[in-house]
């Protein structure tokens, strides 16, 4: 049955085609310039000062292909290089000023490593599911070795398939950001912790492996630190082969703490062994800013992320606005952004694997971290995208891999029906992914009315991250449109991409236009208006001030660019 592994080859090839062919026409998204600049700056200077809110691991991996362009210029001669919060201006200068003639080449090269990291996510998920479910637990009778291998391979292929073809993972698995990178290294860390806790004694090789996994995860994305207390809870629960005892639980917790302490060395190494004065902002830690220590940028970033998550940034949910976020934001986002086929598979796998006594503990090992992370996310005031839930998805997909125990070794009518149901749901997912191609960012299921209507429920990186600016340029060329009135949500420079336009409120280079509107709000002047759907909601303005695009919101667009830019032809 090892031949089943060959099924991974067409899956991987199809994934590469979907990822690479779709990212070519995606313009630089909102955050990419910042991540690319951080990575190349560290590689070229050895200084991680720009890695304030995002650790350097994924950014430097992403920027590695840029070392083939030694003539790229860094704006280290500008004040932004020395300012504590100068990273945004530094990134803008790097991409759109110092290297404006090579923007698309830079972005393409920086995205390629992320595609490979996404593939690594699938491979880790395959290995995790194969080991977890290939033992044959849950069957009524002892399984032969060949049957166990078959179950493990099918479980791994299920996890691989879901990780490579979930359009939400595909969306961010092609961009030079840290979302999928952080998810990948987190899954690796949890997999290594699970392996460490499968034996009832200290095994230092496994502890060191877990330390490496944790260090890579913490160096990939700061929000992954949330899983440190979550895994401490999981360590204490009776979810492992040995009989539960207080002594065993405390040993697992001690192993986690030891691995976590050792992981700090990994993080420090990836911060290029930075040493300098601390730069805390809050009053609680301000006294520490008078002293120096290791990787001050990392600790300042941890503090910054904590302060940001408390709120203070306007959120949008189904026509409502809040400065403190919505408790139901992520439940709604999960309900409308997840493909329906996967939602059904999650429900089936939870009920099936929780109903079987011998698989219940392993199912809980995957469910509990995801549910705790989901719960903590609900209390975050930072409601800007479903992408913040990505870390929990691989755990759910490894869980779904457990359905291999039901669909593989049995030949009864009931089990054959289950087999066809799982195959049918996987086929439905693949059709969904192919249907939304290449607009993966704006994925919404039928509960939201489809991808075209998703912006009425969620905005920002859920649907509009600046990815369709190049497609607007193509549309203008095909329709011989010389100029548009443009309200673009993103960080790209439209003029640098060859777009002739008149700026409207929301343009990143003319933010003052929100308060100096250049058209008649109630009777717009004739012309072609191209408005990003994020800007249609007028996010910088208070609810009572949102009259800039009211005329346009009351009408259906004449055309769409992707699912993120609405075209209005005003006669």
Domain boundary among 56, 81, 98: 98
Q: How far is CA 426 from CA 134, 400, 507, in A?
A: 20, 11, 41
Domain assignment of residue 63, given as a range: 31-98
Q: Helices (H), strands (E): how many in the chain?
A: 21, 9
Q: Does residue 568 surpass a pLDDT of 50?
A: yes
**pLDDT at 257 exceeding the cut of 60:** yes
Residue 429 and residue 165 in contact, taking contact as beta carbons nearer than 8 Å: yes
What average pLDDT does the structure give for the chain? 93
| Residue 464 main-chain phi, psi, to 5 deg | -135, 100
Q: Report whether 402 contacts 351 (CB < 8 A).
A: no
Q: Is 564 part of any domain?
A: yes
What is the per-residue pLDDT for 138?
45
Decide if pLDDT at 186 tops 80: yes
Is 511 among the domain residues? yes
443 inside domain: no
Residue 519 lies in a domain: yes
For the entire predicted model, the pTM comes to 0.95
52-109 pLDDT, tens digit per residue, is: 889 999 999 999 999 999 999 999 999 999 998 899 999 999 999 999 999 999 999 9
In 3D space, the residue among 224, 17, 223 whose CA is nearest the CA of residue 119 turns out to be: 17
| 396: in domain | no
At residue 36, the pLDDT reads 98
Q: Report H helices in 77-223.
A: 87-93, 103-133, 145-165, 167-172, 179-196, 204-218
Q: Determine which of 178-187, 284-293, 504-513 has the lowest per-residue pLDDT on average.
A: 284-293
Q: Is residue 280 in some structural domain? A: no
- Which of 71, 98, 125 terminates a domain? The answer is 98
The total number of structural domains in the chain stands at 2
pLDDT of 289 strictly over 80: no
Q: What is the dihedral of CA 20, 24, 26, 27, to 10 degrees?
A: 140
Q: What percent of the chain has pLDDT over 70?
A: 96
Sequential DSSP letters for 47-95? --TT-SSS-HHHHHHHHGGGGG-TT----TTSGGGTSTT-HHHHHHHII
Residue 288: per-residue pLDDT? 80
- Omega within 30 of 0 (cis) for the link into 213: no
Confidence check: pLDDT of 510 > 80: yes
Phi first, then psi, for residue 59 (nearest 5°) are -60, -40
Where does a domain end: 69, 98, 127? 98
Q: So what's the pLDDT on residue 474?
A: 97
Residue-level pLDDT at 140: 45
Does 503 reside within a domain?
yes
Q: Are 223 and 268 in contact (CB under 8 A)?
A: no
> Is residue 427 included in any domain, yes or no?
no
């Amino acid at each position: 049955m090892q031949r089943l592994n060959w099924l991974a080859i067409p899956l991987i090839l199809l994934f590469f085609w979907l990822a690479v062919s779709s990212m070519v026409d995606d313009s630089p998204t909102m955050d990419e310039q910042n991540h690319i600049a951080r990575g190349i700056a560290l590689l070229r200077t050895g200084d991680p000062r720009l890695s304030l809110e995002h650790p350097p691991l994924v950014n430097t991996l992403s920027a590695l292909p840029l070392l083939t362009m030694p003539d790229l210029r860094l704006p280290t001669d500008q004040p932004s290089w020395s300012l504590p919060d100068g990273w945004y201006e530094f990134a803008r200068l790097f991409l759109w000023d110092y290297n404006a003639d090579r923007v698309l080449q830079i972005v393409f090269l920086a995205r390629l490593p992320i595609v490979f990291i996404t593939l690594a996510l699938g491979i880790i998920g395959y290995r995790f599911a194969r080991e977890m479910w290939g033992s044959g637990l849950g069957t009524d009778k002892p399984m032969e070795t060949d049957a166990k291998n078959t179950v493990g391979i099918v479980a791994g292929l299920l996890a691989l398939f879901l990780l490579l073809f979930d359009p939400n993972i595909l969306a961010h698995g092609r961009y030079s950001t840290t979302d999928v990178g952080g998810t990948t290294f987190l899954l690796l860390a949890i997999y290594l912790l699970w392996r460490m806790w499968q034996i009832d004694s200290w095994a230092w090789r496994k502890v060191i492996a877990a330390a490496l996994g944790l260090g890579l995860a913490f160096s990939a994305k700061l929000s992954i630190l949330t899983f440190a207390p979550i895994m401490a809870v999981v360590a204490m629960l009776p979810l492992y082969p040995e009989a539960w005892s207080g002594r065993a639980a405390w040993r697992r917790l001690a192993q986690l703490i030891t691995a976590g302490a050792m992981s700090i060395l990994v993080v420090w190494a990836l911060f290029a062994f930075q040493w300098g004065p601390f730069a805390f902002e809050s009053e609680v830690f301000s006294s520490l800013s008078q002293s120096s220590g290791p990787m001050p940028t990392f600790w300042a970033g941890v503090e910054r992320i904590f302060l940001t998550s408390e709120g203070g940034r306007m959120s949008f949910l189904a026509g409502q606005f809040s400065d403190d976020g919505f408790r139901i934001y992520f439940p709604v986002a999960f309900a409308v952004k997840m493909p329906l086929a996967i939602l059904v598979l999650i429900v089936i796998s939870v009920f099936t694997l929780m109903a079987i006594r011998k698989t219940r503990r392993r199912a809980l090992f995957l469910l509990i971290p995801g549910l705790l992370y989901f719960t903590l996310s609900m209390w975050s005031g930072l409601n800007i995208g479903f992408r913040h839930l990505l870390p929990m998805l691989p755990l759910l997909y490894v869980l779904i891999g457990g359905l291999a125990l039901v669909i593989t070794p049995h030949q009864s009518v009931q089990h054959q029906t289950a087999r066809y149901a799982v195959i049918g749901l996987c086929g439905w997912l693949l059709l969904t992914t192919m249907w939304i191609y290449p607009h993966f960012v704006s994925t919404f299921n039928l509960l939201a009315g489809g991808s075209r209507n998703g912006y009425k429920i969620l905005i920002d990186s859920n649907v509009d991250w600046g990815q369709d600016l190049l497609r607007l340029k193509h549309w203008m060329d095909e329709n011989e449109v010389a100029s548009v009135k443009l309200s673009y949500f993103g960080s790209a420079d439209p003029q640098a991409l060859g777009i002739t336009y008149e700026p409207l409120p929301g343009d990143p280079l003319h933010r003052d236009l929100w308060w100096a509107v250049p058209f008649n709000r109630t009777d717009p002047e004739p012309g072609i208006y191209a408005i990003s759907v994020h800007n249609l909601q007028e996010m910088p303005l208070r609810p009572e001030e949102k009259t800039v695009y009211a005329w346009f919101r009351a009408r259906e667009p004449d055309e769409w660019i992707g699912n993120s830019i609405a075209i209005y032809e005003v006669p």
